[in-house]
Amino acid sequence: MALPVLITPTYELEVPSTEEKIKYRPFLVKEEKILLIALESSNNTEIIQAIGQIVSECTFNKLDLGKMPMFDVEYMFLQIRAKSVGETSQLRLLCPDDKKSYADVEIDLNDIGVEVIEGHTNKIELTDEMGIIMQYPTIDSFAGTGITAISSDNMLDVISSCILQIYDKKGEEVHYAKDQTAKELIDFIEQLNTKQFREVQKFFDTMPKLQHEITIKNPETNVESKVMLNGLNDFFA
């Protein structure tokens, strides 16, 4: 006699960037094992790949994650994790007032959302005649670096992967990034002056992200401080 088949519940969420409603399910033991193996390896590339695989399978392989902004993937994983393991996360955070004590806090994952800063735009005007149209980093943008945030180690690679097009008003020309090599795009970025490069950085600093502000109390000094959590890593630190 065949063993009974367990029915896995399904839920619905709204993709932050598109407001599309999709179905998802909790991850199963076989998928949790993939994540645990990746976490034990401490290899960031493997962790990113595991998160992508879990999100894909738990949304019934109906999404093209390679084309979705990373903040969408992080948000979906957060929702999947909440239904799979529990809707709270225990964190141990460094207290800002003395920078040596730690406070234990519990956060409700249902309170976490993707925050959008007013005035954010993907159009960057480098000069009166030339500018860049950007797209958000995807899970593929970080695949080679294993880092889910922009740092000095991966900055040029991530920025070049996020250029959608370079336009020239004077010549009425549009140069699509897909028609250029990675080296050509990096060479273009490296010729920007400091002010222009800061405008590019501003796009990443202000782009939508998982964000949540909490108040923690230093157990040693009793001082209360506000701490901003940003990105998936912060919610499971």
148: pLDDT strictly greater than 60: no
Q: What is the pLDDT of residues 212-222, one digit of tens each?
A: 999 999 999 99
pLDDT band, residue 207 (cuts 50/70/90): very high
Residues 6+ apart with CB under 8 A from 185: 160, 163, 177
DSSP per residue, 202-235: HHHHHS-EEEEEEEEE-TTT--EEEEEEEHHHHH
Q: What is the pLDDT of residue 150?
A: 64
Average pLDDT, integer, range 131-155 = 74
Higher pLDDT, 44 or 148: 44
Are residues 14 and 20 in contact, defined by beta-carbon separation less than 8 angstroms? yes
**Residue 4, token pair as written in the block:** 């009974």
- Mean of all residue pLDDT scores within the chain: 90
Task: Give the C-alpha separation, 179 to 126, whole Å.
Answer: 21
Question: Across the strands, what pairs with 103?
Answer: 93
Percent of the chain topping pLDDT 90? 69
Task: Give the C-alpha separation, 99 to 87, whole Å.
Answer: 29
First to last CA, the chain: 45
**Residue 145, token pair as written in the block:** 């670096």
**113-115 and 102-108 beta bridge pairing:** unpaired
User: Where do the structural domains in the chain lie, given as residue ranges?
Assistant: 8-86, 123-206
Q: What is the pLDDT of residue 233?
A: 80
Q: What is the pLDDT of residue 206?
A: 93
Handedness of CA 136, 139, 144, 148 (dihedral sign): positive
Q: What is the pLDDT of residue 81?
A: 93
